[in-house]
Structure 1
């Protein structure tokens, strides 16, 4: 595929990526984040900062606690190691006695050696238990393993002690002690101040004691009265090591200043001190007297004093290590508790404050929605339905309304609630002002309609006067057309009355049949000749209080059906179960679905007086009249084209027999003989003279308007019908209570019935079928 063909797809993918990135960026905008999330983020930032600082502090404290705990373990390990060193020294001394028993002539048996072995085994168990504490320590564990190697060869030395033990076996003890002293030195290096100073003092004492004990072993190998020879140099090195260790100990330890003048061991150790001094002042080839028994006692005293000092140092060091560890642990716990308490308190305070804000905002939101969706529309509707404001101005009426939101507190939420109450009050004021304006507009409509009715009444009177003695058929036809236009103008005035909130109905005491109501509605339409009746059930009577409004409603629907279609409109009326169904169907151009839905919505309730209601004034009037009496009107598509109007008249508005007033009138002449003629008309360009087509009896539609006579039409000398005023057209029965005087009023419904008969005669004349009228079905 060429690159040009792939380019649009690649661009589409890029555009999708950009749109997806744009949506993500729009979500990250502060205006797109909910307030609850914003408050949570505002609370989260200081909490995270506090948690970070606290974690650093707690980490330092935890490290300090870990170091204190490790230092305590090192101190305990050093104490255990020092005890093991002492046991190894004691066992070595007893082994040396067995090795040099001939030189020393001490006469000791193996009982002392075996007791020393038992004590060493106890210390070895303690040492093994201490080693387990440092099983994961990468530095201490190798040292402990290294010290354990010479200890593992003790079994060979102990076995030889029961047979022929040699001097070389003593090196095992010296190697073990040397490596154990290395463990002490490492403990000194790893321990933190001030414990490392105490451990250093203990290590120096252990070094001095080891030098003294090794000097004891060398002295046991000397022969009394013999020169030192090869032993001179090792003895001098041991004496120097011991003095340096003691000197350093005195420098760093306050306890070291309390040594007695005789040094460690005091006077019991003087023979050992004297022996060291003697060796230091002699030469290797000079003979030296060695008192082994006295030296053993002196070295025992020095050893006991040194180990006692070491035990004292370790006791104090262990106690201090425990105190430090407990202090650090307690501080860590306190700091941790304070941090947790602070975080919890901050979160609780933030939640409390944030909840109050979010609850206030949620309350404002719910209240605003409730006011916007229910309370404000209800209040506005009540204002609209109210005809006056009880003498109040819109401002005074708005001030008396109850605020929808409660202004609690003095924070910003209360200010928002106050501002919303102001908006609500202003909306009520505007609604009241608009309601008053609509009332005034309605009053203007009523005033215009009343004035229009007055003018149409005067015009009708003039037409009656013109028709009184008119003999020219053309002029009479023109007058009939003018009469019909006056009838249409009367319907327009009635529509203005409905829009103004008034009623166009007259005071009526008798019901009317459904067929009469339909024909009266037909007579109020402009193209009344385009109306066909398919089915009209007999025996249905419309109640008096609904007759005029029903005529007005049906006239508007029939007029719409005939106005926008050249084909005849079909009207049918049936009684179904509990209601009367009237259908008006036309074959016009139809209505778009969205406009049809909007029109049906206008027909279901009271529509506001706006530009659209005036543009569709007929449907607006139908909706108002239908809502006034509970009549349902619905527009539906009429099949392939056109519109079908379904009118549902509830059963409560109809009767099935005429009212007593109507029955009383039925006792009077119910029909008026009318001689109908066809006026001049043009057909194929030929002007035809009028001819008498038939004489028929028209049904009387009892729309009371003025007295009328039931006399037949007279024929003038020219052979044309001479109509007496108010007889042939607009036939109606006399009113039960005719006015004695006053202007003559015409009934457009009666005139419309005569127009229908006239149209039938005209159709029959055109067809030329035995001069019989064509009945509309």
Structure 2
């Protein structure tokens, strides 16, 4: 693959390198295809060259076989011309010959045979229209052959010696085709056979020309001018026969050409006699015996020629079949080789690509599913109990099966090692997070212990203080202790524990919101616009909802000097609480990131510590099923939208909450009015509103030493007029010593007034014991036993 980005500079302004092809950018399947393509192309090229040569050999063998068949046809035409010439010679010299059969019928039979052979030649030459040499040779023979009709006509009227040259010219030009066939036959056997046939044809032509000279001779007369041609023809015949004997496979049998034949002996003797005599000497010529001897030699020579040519044709066809068969075998071998190479490459490549695909899929499955699941299991301590990270990693199932001993199996083994090491590191990190969470929980527990002791000291100081200014300062310290308690609760949440108290009764939505307000540092800058007190929050979600809302309210008042507005409205199946501030706002990117962290349990990282309040909100929201979303306000600032589902809500107080209201309301039938959250008792018996302390939840179980929820009543008819509260400069009711004691109670130190029969709720008692056992068990894990410290100033 090529990099298509060819711009001059990159994003940083530096010159961009020219795009170039890199092997690493090519997929494995393409690489394997290229690796297969190179040898296949090479094999195909070599096979193509070889097949081309074989095909050419087959074509040449086919052409040679056809040419050999044409040579046999031409040889038969030559023999027919020779026979017709012999009969024409008899007609030329019939006046001086005393032959028993000199009728013109023999000539006519020879002409008929010649025409048949010429017709065969015309049919055979049609297959060589594309061969220019054969076409030219046959065309050269057409001229003397076209004059045969003149000779044949003269034979019936007055034929002369000169007419016989037409036959000699036709035979000579047809003999060139035999020589061409010899030259074209590349196979040694074919070449030798065709050469032998050509030599025999030349020897036979010399013998047939001797026939004409012999017929021209007169008995008992000297040779004179015929002597030299006679001796030349005898020499040509002997040279052809000698060459034939040299190249013939059987040594050129002595019967060839009439040699050794009884019928051909007269002409052999006559030739020897002429060879040993002079031109002026008289020679006895027995034409009858000589003609019979010439016929015997001609027939014997023609038989050998036909036998040789037939063997040559058979041999050429055998060569043609062998070459064709070889070509077919080579084609089949090449095709089979290519198919096997492709199938083998596909099989091996498929195993490689499938192995790589399995590695890829396994890596994705491990990265997306298995490893996060294993890490989540470790985080939830489902599989690591009692095992070290190393043991836990060894116990995990390897994601890949190691089958075989090739490199892919080695990669699978290495990947399994990486997976096991990743599990070990994840388990180690999870254990580290668990230990850090335990440290948070332990620090929070100690912080709660210290804030509880500090609260007790502050209570004692408030009860003994009469100076309003000092009492106001103690109230501010009390509020700081409440904030420290919220910080301890946040540490508990970050450590994975819960800061919720044991509860059996639900609480009003308004009480929950005001309890969250009392946990904010700048609680005086919170304005409630809409609160529906007809909705109650179930006991299991009260404390977590208070802490979640307190974190959001604290953020809203911390980063803006304007009041934060809190509105709660009930919809069909949920309650939506909107906390709006008027700060500078948050950009969209960070707002989306914060919403993503609020929508899921965020991991403990640097971002979580930098936004610890929102991290606590996200953990609590995911724990109890509350949806929290931040969005930009229409003008400026941020709106935190908290959605409490119907599963956390109720629309009537629980029996425990109703009994608590009856205890505080008295025997009269009251009309419920909105009451302050908590009140403290002081020495004057007056009641004053104070911010909620750390560790105190909304409507905690009643304890004489802690907060007592007080509900204002309105009697039937005209309600009693309440005195205006004495407020300080911060808007807080001014607290006075002893003002929280109930009317008619004695001074501090006296016994508590009787509240009526004690009502024990089995669910509340069971929940209290369960919380006690849980706290006792948590304090024993990993915490050394300490001796009691009686010195309150010495830290524990």
8 A Cα contact 2:202 2:237, kept in partner: yes
CA shift digits 1:309-341 (9 cap, x unpaired): 111211222222233333333334334433433
Give the match's secondary structure for 2:264: helix
Among 109, 116, 121, which residue is 1:115 paired with?
109
Q: 1:25 matched to which residue of 2?
A: 21
Q: 2:577 matched to which residue of 1?
A: 582
Distance 2:17 2:181 in 1: 61
Q: 2:675 matched to which residue of 1?
A: 699
CA shift digits 1:112-144 (9 cap, x unpaired): 223222222322233233323333234333223
Change (3 A) 1:465 1:176: same
Among 174, 182, 187, which residue is 2:176 paired with?
182
Distance 1:733 1:568 in 2: 25
Return the offset for 1:225: 4.8
Aligned: 1:89 with 2:66: no
Return the offset for 1:763: 7.2
8 A Cα contact 2:556 2:581, kept in partner: yes
Distance 2:166 2:9 in 1: 82
Give the match's secondary structure for 2:75: helix
The equivalences for 1:325-474 within 5 A come to 325-386=320-381, 389-474=384-469
Among 286, 301, 304, which residue is 2:296 paired with?
301
Q: 1:242 matched to which residue of 2?
A: 237
Distance 1:593 1:734 in 2: 36
The equivalences for 1:759-774 within 5 A come to none
Return the offset for 1:260: 4.4
Aligned: 1:553 with 2:548: yes
Q: 2:639 matched to which residue of 1?
A: 644
Return the offset for 1:656: 1.6
Distance 1:256 1:374 in 2: 93
8 A Cα contact 1:147 1:180, kept in partner: yes
Q: 2:133 matched to which residue of 1?
A: 139
196-205 or 69-78: bigger deviation: 69-78
Give TM-score scaled by structure 2 length: 0.81
Change (3 A) 1:32 1:486: same
Distance 1:206 1:611 in 2: 112
The equivalences for 1:195-210 within 5 A come to 195-210=190-205
Q: 1:5 matched to which residue of 2?
A: none
Distance 1:258 1:728 in 2: 150
Distance 1:481 1:238 in 2: 154
How many equivalent pairs are there?
Answer: 702
Change (3 A) 1:356 1:403: same
Aligned: 1:573 with 2:568: yes
Among 63, 81, 84, which residue is 1:70 paired with?
63
Distance 2:162 2:540 in 1: 141
Aligned: 1:37 with 2:30: yes
Aligned: 1:79 with 2:72: yes
CA shift digits 1:77-107 (9 cap, x unpaired): 2222111111121122223333333333545
Among 597, 604, 609, which residue is 1:602 paired with?
597
Aligned: 1:633 with 2:609: no
Change (3 A) 1:236 1:730: closer
Distance 1:337 1:352 in 2: 22
Distance 1:550 1:522 in 2: 12
8 A Cα contact 1:546 1:629, kept in partner: yes
175-184 or 353-362: bigger deviation: 353-362
Return the offset for 1:261: 10
Change (3 A) 1:506 1:428: same
Return the offset for 1:459: 1.9
Distance 1:388 1:239 in 2: 118
Change (3 A) 1:524 1:222: same
Aligned: 1:219 with 2:214: yes
Give the match's secondary structure for 2:640: strand
Return the offset for 1:280: 3.5
Aligned: 1:127 with 2:121: yes
The equivalences for 1:282-301 within 5 A come to 282-284=277-279, 288-301=283-296
Change (3 A) 1:19 1:128: farther
Distance 1:369 1:758 in 2: 69
Distance 1:730 1:536 in 2: 19
270-279 or 603-612: bigger deviation: 270-279
Return the offset for 1:169: 3.3
8 A Cα contact 2:257 2:297, kept in partner: no
628-637 or 157-166: bigger deviation: 157-166
CA shift digits 1:470-495 (9 cap, x unpaired): 44444333333222221111111111
Return the offset for 1:623: 0.7
Give the match's secondary structure for 1:584: strand
8 A Cα contact 1:75 1:317, kept in partner: yes
8 A Cα contact 1:387 1:439, kept in partner: no
Among 501, 507, 517, which residue is 2:496 paired with?
501
Return the offset for 1:761: 8.0
409-418 or 371-380: bigger deviation: 409-418
Q: 1:617 matched to which residue of 2?
A: 612
Give the match's secondary structure for 1:573: strand
Give the match's secondary structure for 1:462: helix
Give the match's secondary structure for 2:584: coil
334-343 or 560-569: bigger deviation: 334-343
Return the offset for 1:641: 2.7
Q: 1:530 matched to which residue of 2?
A: 525
Distance 2:417 2:732 in 1: 72
Distance 1:212 1:758 in 2: 164
Return the offset for 1:59: 4.3
Distance 2:483 2:515 in 1: 12
Q: Which has the higher helix share?
A: 1
Task: Please report the RMSD computed on the Cα atoms of aligned residues, expressed in angstroms.
Answer: 3.4
Change (3 A) 1:424 1:624: same
463-472 or 173-182: bigger deviation: 463-472
8 A Cα contact 1:565 1:586, kept in partner: yes
8 A Cα contact 1:264 1:306, kept in partner: no
Distance 1:540 1:578 in 2: 11
Distance 1:736 1:295 in 2: 158
Distance 2:369 2:698 in 1: 53
8 A Cα contact 1:708 1:733, kept in partner: no
Return the offset for 1:160: 4.1
Give the match's secondary structure for 2:417: helix
514-523 or 624-633: bigger deviation: 514-523
Give the match's secondary structure for 1:131: helix
Distance 1:639 1:169 in 2: 130
8 A Cα contact 2:531 2:567, kept in partner: yes
Q: 2:740 matched to which residue of 1?
A: none
Give TM-score scaled by structure 1 length: 0.83
Return the offset for 1:228: 4.2
Distance 1:13 1:176 in 2: 84
Give the match's secondary structure for 1:699: coil
8 A Cα contact 1:521 1:552, kept in partner: yes
Distance 2:256 2:504 in 1: 147
